[in-house]
Structure 1
Amino acid sequence: MPGSALSGLGQRPFGVYVHVPFCATRCGYCDFNTYTPGELGSSASPASWLDGLRAELDLAAAVLGSAPPADTVFVGGGTPSLLGADGLTSVLDAVRGAFGLAPGAEVTTESNPESTSPEFFAGIRAAGYTRVSLGMQSAAPHVLAVLDRVHTPGRPGAAAREARTAGFEHVNLDLIYGTPGETDDDLRASLAAVLEAGVDHVSAYSLIVEDGTALARRVRRGELPMTDDLVLADRYEIIDATLRAHGMHWYEVSNWASTVDARCRHNLGYWLGGDWWGAGPGAHSHVGGVRWWNVKHPAAYAKALAEGRSPAAARELLSPEDHALERVLLEIRLVDGLPVSALDPSALPEARAAVADGLLDAGALDAGRCVLTDRGRLLADAVVRRLT
């Protein structure tokens, strides 16, 4: 690591991301770096992955030197809950051993509702996890079928309630909207199930049909229609209005929380340009303007670390121009926006034009910040293009 990257370590938020690359089945829309048992065969296992993870975290501690304790930990995937409570306890113990946890650290794990239970939640709560994120996607059986999701429609809400009973104050449910065949009423039913579950955080993302996925092949063959952008905009407005009416407010374009404390601090670290070490196959990291990413396959990852080599596949040093672009790209999505001072002076006329077009808040711009309006959230990518 260059000295310039390490010099500010500890002055910015520091998080640890752990990627669990295992899934019981592959969802048709998913292009994440995940592997089913049939895809892995005997070339890798959760045990070899965990050995590699411990080795990478030890390497991380040595590379970063006086790294601060982790403010946040996020275990994602894949399906981390397939590791069970004991496996996730081992993951968190490895992070503690390498970095330690800051007082009041936020520790999140993603979970598939079907691989959880009251005992699972009690076990990970006792281990030190403070937040759970559950994949719900939809409450409509026919929508889940299009997505190749295997959980039953009512299980995510039940899992959320089990997590709350186990002592988790912060529980998130993920939604996907705009799936072919979904109706407005399907979405409203999903939102009703979310609200009934009593969670304090909701993430909602429009379906993106990624090249190379089973869903993309079905769309290409004409078996399923693509959802119109105007329909997606209408669905987003339904989500925002429904959640707002029940005391949940957006703090990032695709995320809503009932209180400031319920916001995901780990993801805020990404959006605000913090530092994080991403451990696991295919994980990405960023420290002080240096970004790198690991080899994707679990077998290659475990082999590199067993041989004492870095699992990194490549890295890049961000230029000042890269930093400026990414700051606008990420911070504009937040409820507080970004300072006008973060813009190139040549972009100021575009900012004023965006106010005239109803995309940026006029009062906020007068106060020195670029903040999206409700309409601006629907066109956030277009606003970024205008400001960069």
Structure 2
Amino acid sequence: MTATSAGVSVVLPVDGGLEPYVLGSPGAWTRPSRPITSRVAFAAAHVIPRATAENTPGAPAAIDWDATLAYRHELWSYGLGVADAMDTAQRGMGLDWQATAELIRRSGAAAAAAGGRLACGAGTDQLDLAALPAGAAGLARIVDAYREQVEVVTAAGAQVILMASRALVRVARSAADYVDVYERVLADVDRPVILHWLGTMFDPALDGYWGSADIAAATATFRTLIEDNRSKIDGVKVSLLDAAHEVALRRALPAGVRLYTGDDFNYPELITGDAEGHSDALLGIFAAIYPAASTALQELDSGNTTRAAAILGSTQELGRHIFAAPTYYYKTGIAFLSWLNGKQPGFSMVAGLSTGRSVPHMVELFRLADRAGLLADPELAAHRMRLYLELNGLGS
């Protein structure tokens, strides 16, 4: 325990009462001295709102660009790639397309300056779902929307992540419609992309993606698309929170196509892997645990698999808590931890999403982050936790 963290405590609510909680020390995390090579790893970063803006439900997103880009530089400094403009950045939950396009452009410029790896989501969220025509005309508009966003990502110098489309769920009438739309978009890309399969626990509006609510049938369609377009696909990000399904899919992928785990529950075992392979990573939880994640990946680079697994495993309880149901509010926990660690001036989110989790949830997040060694400055974290509790009627 460092001198600055020894004895730091905060009174927390426990079983209807209040009890002092003494914080531990930050973990002995390290920044890499050379590029990480054992895994390709992206942290899906969140956005930080401008404190003086509206940022209420339905209002255009107003971003604190300095703080938001500083967070990306922090991730790059730990040797991780940044996955931007994804669901972690509140796509579909407050981040409108105009703000998204600006985020992509600014992150692209920052990545170029820092020499950081960047991949960005391209979707169809500029479309008005209520105005979409049915049939072929609707599918054509979806293809055009994807192409528009792909162009923005490509112009920013970032790798394209083809995100799942709520519009496609609304218009498609068969698995063949999904394949047709994706193949038309893939035909135009100039470098391999990442396909993102996002489960309903992250976005209920994506029910029946790939043309079926049956995971086995949807997987068969997904695999056919990959097999038939393997030269256009760098990898696939699967966010279904089903480790067995991911391992089976990983083993069935064509040679050269990566499986980027999006499983924020089971990432330690999936990244560590087994004798038959491993998953790479494109994870929202990495935006919260990035110092530990980077240190674990450095251990993998050195061949220390057991140590790497132990580090990742030490963060798993925190990850499962942040991503607990309703999972689509996980972004609130990531922003809260960012605030506790001094990476943003206030605990706020675009669209007012900071109210997405309860006080007991945040109290447990605080404890678990401390136990995982992920409160970088215990005194600051304790001070901010006291402010949060006082604001919510707990404390003096």
Q: Which TM-score bucket, shorter chain as reference?
A: 0.3 to 0.5
Which structure shows the higher strand fraction? 1
Structure number with the bigger relative contact order (C-alpha 8 A, sep ≥ 6) is 2
